[in-house]
């Protein structure tokens, strides 16, 4: 865009731009090089604001919207939510707006209702007249937690009231030293669904997770990390753990069916499982190279349904300890649990996409939905019970991990968003912006950028609702875990919005209420005694590392990305910051052996994603240069012999790179299970649709039992470099 063009566009739509600025749509951003400025177009502004529900088709409409927003803000007696650090001086006061009243004196009452149910009240008077802002003292300082401030004004025969959610937060999240006893810790990261074992039913499950925990503990590790365990449709292409139907609840594919307690009450189910036909199908699923989600669920669903019926008869019917535990689980998780279960029950009848249901059923709060939920109560309860059992088994896995000696335990993953057709969006329609999706801008890896197809969350609605959805997400993620990875943590600063159906090239950044989001994250981290890891890869604003460090959040350092693009050299081990998780790769990259062989580039060529032979060759040559540079860095570090320049075996390479990242000062080091097993094929090829490559379905070639017993994997764990006391390097 030329300077003259920019001047003309500014002159034409000043109100549109003012409104966009007010609502947080950023006018421009620096791309990943930090040198090229990408400017937001007025067309993008208009479409994103329209997606948020604002009429901005003309300058007059945009100006009218601005006036309404200002009027609404001036009429507000108190902010809907306030997130403040426990040690901040700001906690001692509260800003309110006295309403306009024709009285000499206006009386006020300020009531603090703490999370524990304690109530404290203060009263006073102030002058009447025009509306104005005043600051009131808070004589009693509330503790960490979620509280309510009620303000009430009365005078000239009128009364006005308002409520603020007051969230008092710590200065930082749980520190690594607190969980790791002052030491650094390593662990294994696994795509749990890919795990092959003699006991699972065709998909890695929570029983396998316990086995992994025992193995890692025996080898001196601190944690086992897994992909997001969020609820999926488990059918067709809806199998990505990063595009769930709900981030609040979990995927039943991870249940270890043999471990459901009701199995002991139902001999006919045990006989069914032992039947030749069932065992033949089970063996076929265990031997299959790819995970067939629908087939796996088809085998286990009738068994689980029978076990749910047994639960109602033997547990609920006799008011057992397990029945009481279920009642407590429902009490804790409702109304979200019943909302999710209702969605699942209706989806069985009306189809998987809530947007295609009859109009009366698209509103989760409609009478039609309530009536159908009553009709489908058995199915609703079945899906609630499934979540209860998943929670129980995950809790057992966490307990097993602690008993075996894992100081950190389980490490879970919170995906960046939820599918537009799923439960979270159906249950919270005002929160999600259906006319905009989220993704990532163009960068050196993709000229088109990335459109993840997930609906954007309106940060203003999230704030107006007291961050309730964010709190629930964090509690679900932190439950039974010692660390939580926040996928695309850059979204806590700004989220890249793309008008529905458009390329990421025309997207723009929406500003997040980052300090408030981080404060709540720190509060839930401290309450659960768990660490936080922020995945901060991609187009990273310069302030991000400092803010993460200030809140005590670990950053992500991926060895194959830690390279100076000017010199071509990979970073030395000592350059890694202490407050970080160091890994070799990510779920969007092939395993290390496949990366070294450029297997992902080869696959993209075979699939037609790289149709230009010259482009494919250029990418292949670039990868080979990366390989040489990585080998050189490992030779210089004394982890590979100089002969590795000519030839290095996969076993030598995996052992060397793992020993390298364990030399870094990073508080946490994650070793990929795929790398330990020397897998080649990626679990995901970003940008390639699943009709061409079955992402999220590739299973491991080596059974878990063989990995646990095998010397090759143990060598790759890097025993020559045990976890050392935490280095006091860069934070």
Q: How many domains does the chain have?
A: 3
pLDDT for 442 equals 83
Residue 265, in any domain of the structure? no
Using a CB cutoff of 8 Å and minimum separation of 24, what contacts does 294-301 make?
294/234, 294/235, 294/236, 295/202, 296/201, 296/202, 296/203, 296/234, 296/253, 297/234, 297/235, 297/252, 297/253, 299/201, 299/202, 300/201, 300/252, 300/255, 300/257
Quote the tokens at residue 136.
Answer: 């009131």
Q: Name residue, tokens 């290390």.
A: 592
Examine the domain organization and report whether 129 and 202 are in the same domain: no
DSSP per-residue codes, 87-141:
T-GGGGEEEEEEPPEEEEEEEEEEEEE-TTS-EEEEEEEEEEES-EEEEEE-SS-
Quote the tokens at residue 519.
Answer: 């404060």
Provide the pairing of β-strand 132-137 with 145-155: unpaired
> Distance between CA atoms of 511 and 492, rounded to whole angstroms?
9
Examine the domain organization and report whether 613 and 696 are in the same domain: yes
> Distance between CA atoms of 192 and 254, rounded to whole angstroms?
8
Q: Closest by alpha carbon to 465, among 167, 169, 165, 148?
A: 165
Residues in the chain: 731
Examine the domain organization and report whether 70 and 132 are in the same domain: no
Examine the domain organization and report whether 64 and 121 are in the same domain: no
Residue 303, in any domain of the structure? no
Q: Among 22, 44, 74, where does a domain finish?
A: 74
> Distance between CA atoms of 199 and 151, rounded to whole angstroms?
59
Q: Closest by alpha carbon to 504, among 449, 462, 438?
A: 449
- C-alpha angle 721-724-729 in degrees, rounded to nearest 5: 115
Instruction: Mention every residue, 6+ apart, whose C-beta is less than 8 A from residue 709.
Output: none
DSSP per-residue codes, 507-537:
-EEEE--HHHHHHHHHHHHHHHT-EEEE---
Specify the CATH number for the domain of residue 144: 2.60.40
Q: Name residue, tokens 């993008």.
A: 44
Q: Closest by alpha carbon to 364, among 384, 347, 389, 348?
A: 347
Examine the domain organization and report whether 163 and 215 are in the same domain: no
pLDDT for 714 equals 60
Task: Evaluate whether 701 touches 290 at the Cβ level (below 8 Å).
Answer: no
pLDDT for 11 equals 56
Instruction: Mention every residue, 6+ apart, whose C-beta is less than 8 A from residue 646.
Output: none
Q: Render pLDDT for 671-692 as a digit per residue (tens, 0 to 9).
A: 999 999 999 999 999 888 888 9
Provide the pairing of β-strand 230-231 with 246-250: antiparallel
Examine the domain organization and report whether 479 and 611 are in the same domain: yes
Examine the domain organization and report whether 69 and 218 are in the same domain: no
Task: Evaluate whether 666 touches 577 at the Cβ level (below 8 Å).
Answer: yes
> Distance between CA atoms of 28 and 21, rounded to whole angstroms?
11
Q: Among 53, 74, 95, where does a domain finish?
A: 74
Examine the domain organization and report whether 656 and 695 are in the same domain: yes
> Distance between CA atoms of 712 and 675, rounded to whole angstroms?
11
Range of the structural domain that residue 95 is part of: 87-169
Examine the domain organization and report whether 165 and 187 are in the same domain: no
> Distance between CA atoms of 574 and 558, rounded to whole angstroms?
14
> Is 706 buried (19+), middle (13-18) or exposed (0-12) by CB count in 10 A?
middle
Residue 631, in any domain of the structure? yes
Examine the domain organization and report whether 24 and 163 are in the same domain: no
How far does Cα 166 stand from its chain's mean position?
Answer: 25
What are the backbone dihedrals phi and psi of residue 43, each rounded to the nearest 5 degrees, phi first?
A: -65, -40
Residue 138, in any domain of the structure? yes
pLDDT for 728 equals 36
Instruction: Mention every residue, 6+ apart, whose C-beta is less than 8 A from residue 629.
Output: 563, 568, 569, 570
Largest CA distance in the chain: 90
Instruction: Mention every residue, 6+ apart, whose C-beta is less than 8 A from residue 113.
Output: 119, 147, 148, 149, 150
Q: Among 143, 169, 195, where does a domain finish?
A: 169
pLDDT for 4 equals 41
pLDDT for 532 equals 98
Residue 270, in any domain of the structure? no
Examine the domain organization and report whether 37 and 101 are in the same domain: no
Q: Which residues are 673's β-sheet partners?
A: none
Cis ω before 335 (30° cut-off from 0): yes
Specify the CATH number for the domain of residue 201: 3.20.20.80
Report, as ranges of residue numbers, the positions in the chain whose pLDDT lies below 50: 1-10, 719-731
Task: Evaluate whether 124 touches 152 at the Cβ level (below 8 Å).
Answer: no
Provide the pairing of β-strand 132-137 with 93-98: antiparallel
Residue 409, in any domain of the structure? yes
Residue 337, in any domain of the structure? no
Q: Closest by alpha carbon to 133, among 73, 81, 89, 85?
A: 73
Examine the domain organization and report whether 130 and 220 are in the same domain: no
pLDDT for 415 equals 97
> Distance between CA atoms of 651 and 293, rounded to whole angstroms?
32
pLDDT for 713 equals 62
> Distance between CA atoms of 207 and 200, rounded to whole angstroms?
8
Residue 481, in any domain of the structure? yes
């Amino acid at each position: 865009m030329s300077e003259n063009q920019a001047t003309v566009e500014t002159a034409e739509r000043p109100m549109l731009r003012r409104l966009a600025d007010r609502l947080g749509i950023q006018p421009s951003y620096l791309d990943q090089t930090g040198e090229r400025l990408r400017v937001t177009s007025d067309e993008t502004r208009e479409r994103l604001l329209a997606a948020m529900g604002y009429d901005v088709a003309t300058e007059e409409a945009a100006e009218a919207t601005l006036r309404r927003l200002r009027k609404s803000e001036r009429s507000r007696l108190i902010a809907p939510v306030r997130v403040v650090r426990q040690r901040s001086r700001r906690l001692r006061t509260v800003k309110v707006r006295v309403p306009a009243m024709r009285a000499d004196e206006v009386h006020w009452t300020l009531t603090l209702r703490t999370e524990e149910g304690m109530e404290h009240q203060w009263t006073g008077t102030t002058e009447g007249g025009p509306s104005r802002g005043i600051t009131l003292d808070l004589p009693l300082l509330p503790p960490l937690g979620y509280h309510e401030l009620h303000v009430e004004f009365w005078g000239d025969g009128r009364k006005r009231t308002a409520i603020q959610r007051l969230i008092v937060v710590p200065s930082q999240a749980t520190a690594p030293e607190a969980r790791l006893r002052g030491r650094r810790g390593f662990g294994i990261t696994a795509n749990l669904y890919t795990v092959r074992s003699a006991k699972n039913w065709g998909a890695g499950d929570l029983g396998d997770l316990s086995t992994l925990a025992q193995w890692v503990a025996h080898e001196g590790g601190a944690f086992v990390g897994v992909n997001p365990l969020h609820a999926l449709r488990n059918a067709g292409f809806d199998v990505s753990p990063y595009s769930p139907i709900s981030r609040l609840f979990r995927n039943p594919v991870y249940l270890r069916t043999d471990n459901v307690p009701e199995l002991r009450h139902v001999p006919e189910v045990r006989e069914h499982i032992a039947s030749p036909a069932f065992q033949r199908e089970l063996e076929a699923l265990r031997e299959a190279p790819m995970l067939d989600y629908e087939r796996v669920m088809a085998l286990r669903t009738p068994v689980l349904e029978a076990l749910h019926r047994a639960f109602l008869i033997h547990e609920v019917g006799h008011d057992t300890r397990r029945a009481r535990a279920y009642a407590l689980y429902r009490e804790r998780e409702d109304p979200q649990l019943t909302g999710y279960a209702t969605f699942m029950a209706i989806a069985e009848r009306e189809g998987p996409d809530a947007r295609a249901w009859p109009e009366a059923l698209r509103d989760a709060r409609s009478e039609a939905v309530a009536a159908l939920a009553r009709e489908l109560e058995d199915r609703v309860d079945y899906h609630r019970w499934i979540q209860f059992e998943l929670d129980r088994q995950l809790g057992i896995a966490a307990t097993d991990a602690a008993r075996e000696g894992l100081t950190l335990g389980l490490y879970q993953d919170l995906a960046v968003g939820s599918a537009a057709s799923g439960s979270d969006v159906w249950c919270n329609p005002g929160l999600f912006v259906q006319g905009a999706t989220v993704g990532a801008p163009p960068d050196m890896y993709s000229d088109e950028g990335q459109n993840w197809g997930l609906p954007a969350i309106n940060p203003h609605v999230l704030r107006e609702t007291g961050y309730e959805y964010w709190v629930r997400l964090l509690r679900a993620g932190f439950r039974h875990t010692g660390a939580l990875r926040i996928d695309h943590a850059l979204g806590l600063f700004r989220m890249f919005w793309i008008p529905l159906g458009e390329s990421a090239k025309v997207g723009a950044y929406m500003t997040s209420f980052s300090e408030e989001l981080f404060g709540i994250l720190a509060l839930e981290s401290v309450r659960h005694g768990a660490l936080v890891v922020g995945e901060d890869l991609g187009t990273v604003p310069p302030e991000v590392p400092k803010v993460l460090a200030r809140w005590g959040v670990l950053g992500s350092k991926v060895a194959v990305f830690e390279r100076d693009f000017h010199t071509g050299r990979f970073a030395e081990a000592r350059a890694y910051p202490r407050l970080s998780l160091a890994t070799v790769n990510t779920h969007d990259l092939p395993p290390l052996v496949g990366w070294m062989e450029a297997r992902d580039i080869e696959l993209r060529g075979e699939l037609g994603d790289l149709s230009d032979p010259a482009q494919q060759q250029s990418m292949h040559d670039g990868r080979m240069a990366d390989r040489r540079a990585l080998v050189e860095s490992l030779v210089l570090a004394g982890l590979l012999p100089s002969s590795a320049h000519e030839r290095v075996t996969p076993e030598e390479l995996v052992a060397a790179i793992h020993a390298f990242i364990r030399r870094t000062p990073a508080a946490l080091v994650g070793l990929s299970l795929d790398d330990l097993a020397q897998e080649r094929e990626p679990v995901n090829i970003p940008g390639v649709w699943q009709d061409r490559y079955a992402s999220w379905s590739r299973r491991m070639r080596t059974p878990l039992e063989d990995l646990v017993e095998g010397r090759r994997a143990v060598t790759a764990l890097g025993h020559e470099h045990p976890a050392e006391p935490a280095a006091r390097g860069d934070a």
